[in-house]
């Protein structure tokens, strides 16, 4: 399965764009990149996913490099409620998501 | 509003007790999952089920069993609880393949004394 590497923690000022990187250099051609986040004391929540092209929804944007070996999740105007652990996942097979330890994002007032 | 619910938010049990953690989803999802979450280790998959009465081992099944008698309910069983099973337990459900969104419950924080 494709392994992902994320920074352990990051800070971002409130109102600024938060850019969370993820490396997935062993990803294969048909594997998607998924992002979930986990706010304290809650279960993880889906954010966005993509294959090749950049994706945007009401929560975030996902930028995937042309070689697909890395991606960046962008929260365009971070708020205090965006403080959470963010997981970048490349699913294994068709069955299960494997969560690593993610990036702990702290939004600074 | 889609929902995954877990029977308890907090649970305290003694070593050697049999423990049942219940999970119910109201979305008619085929797939259900049990994870545990520990500091520094992230979420680790214990068991999953892709249909009624079907189950598959995840990454850390030792010391656990599961039951899926009805589509909406997935139970995690600790046959003889031990202190190293003190953890946050998270249930999830998903329709179809891994390419669909996976929904999580709020978690059960289990303490084994």
C-alpha–C-alpha distance, residues B69 and B75, integer Å: 9
Cα B37 to chain centroid distance, Å, stands at 11
How many H-runs (helices) and E-runs (strands) does chain A carry? 0, 9
- Taking an 8 Å cut-off on Cβ atoms, the answer to whether A95 and B106 are in contact is no
Interface touch B106/A42, C-beta < 8 Å: yes
Mean pLDDT of chain A: 91
Place of tokens 């999953």: B48
For residue A92, pLDDT beyond 90: no
Contacting residues of B for A49, CB less than 8 Å apart = 99
- Residue in chain A closest to B50 (alpha carbons) equals A95
CA distance A92 to B90: 19
Contact of B60 with B75, CB cutoff 8 Å: no
User: What are the C-alpha distances in Å from A31 to residues A36, A92, B78, B103?
Assistant: 16, 9, 35, 20
Percent of all residues in chain A with a pLDDT value above 70, rounded to a whole number:
94
How far from A58 is each of A10, A61, A77, B27, CA to CA, in Å?
A: 22, 8, 12, 23
Quick check: B107 and A100 CB within 8 A?
no
**B74, pLDDT greater than 90:** yes
pLDDT value, residue A94: 55
Average pLDDT value for chain B:
94
Q: Which residue in the set B40, B50, B104 is minimally distant from A44, CB to CB?
A: B104
Q: What is the pLDDT of residue B42?
A: 85
Share of chain B above pLDDT 90, in %: 85
Say if residue A1's pLDDT is above 60.
no
* Range with lowest mean pLDDT among A58-62, A97-101, B55-59: A97-101
What is the reported pLDDT for A26? 86
Position B39 pLDDT exceeds 70 = yes
Side-chain half-sphere exposure of B35, counting CA atoms within 13 A: 24
B41 contacts on A by Cβ (under 8 Å):
101
Question: Are residues B59 and A93, on separate chains, in Cβ contact within 8 Å?
Answer: no
| Residues on chain A touching B90 (C-beta within 8 angstroms) | 43-44
User: Which residues are within 8 A (CB) of B62 and not within 5 positions of it... i.e. 6 or more apart?
Assistant: none
Q: Which comes out higher in pLDDT, residue A18 or B43?
A: A18
Contact status of B48 with chain A (Cβ, < 8 Å): yes
- The beta-carbon neighbor of A32 closest among B99, B101, B102 is B99
Tens of pLDDT, residue by residue over A47-69, are 999 998 899 999 999 999 999 99
- Model confidence at B97: pLDDT above 90: no
Number of H-type helices and E-type strands within chain B: 0, 11
* pLDDT tens per residue across span A31-44: 889 999 999 888 99
Quote the pLDDT of residue A101: 87
Say if the Cβ atoms of B98 and A94 lie within 8 Å.
yes
Q: Residue A98 pLDDT > 60, yes or no?
A: yes
E strands, B39-83, are: 42-49, 56-57, 65-70, 73-78
């Amino acid at each position: 399965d494709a392994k992902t590497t994320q920074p352990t923690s990051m800070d971002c000022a409130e109102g600024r764009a938060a850019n969370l990187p993820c490396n997935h250099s062993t990803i294969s051609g048909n594997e998607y990149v998924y992002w979930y986040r986990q706010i304290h004391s809650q279960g993880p929540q889906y954010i966005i996913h993509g294959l090749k092209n950049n994706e945007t929804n009401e929560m975030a944007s996902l930028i995937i490099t042309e070689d697909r070996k890395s991606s960046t999740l962008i929260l365009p105007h971070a708020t205090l409620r965006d403080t959470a652990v963010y997981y970048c996942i490349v699913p294994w097979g068709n069955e299960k998501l494997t969560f690593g330890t993610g990036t702990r994002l702290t939004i600074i007032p | 509003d889609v929902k995954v619910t877990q029977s308890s938010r907090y649970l305290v049990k003694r070593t050697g007790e049999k423990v049942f953690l219940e999970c119910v989803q109201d979305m008619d999802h085929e797939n259900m999952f049990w994870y545990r979450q520990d500091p520094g280790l992230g979420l680790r998959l214990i068991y999953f089920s892709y249909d009624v009465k079907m189950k598959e081992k995840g990454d850390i099944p030792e010391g656990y069993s599961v039951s899926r008698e009805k589509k909406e309910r997935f139970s995690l069983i600790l046959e003889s609880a031990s202190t190293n099973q003190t953890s946050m337990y998270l249930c999830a459900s998903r329709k179809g393949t891994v390419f669909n969104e996976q929904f999580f419950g709020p978690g059960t924080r289990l303490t084994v004394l």
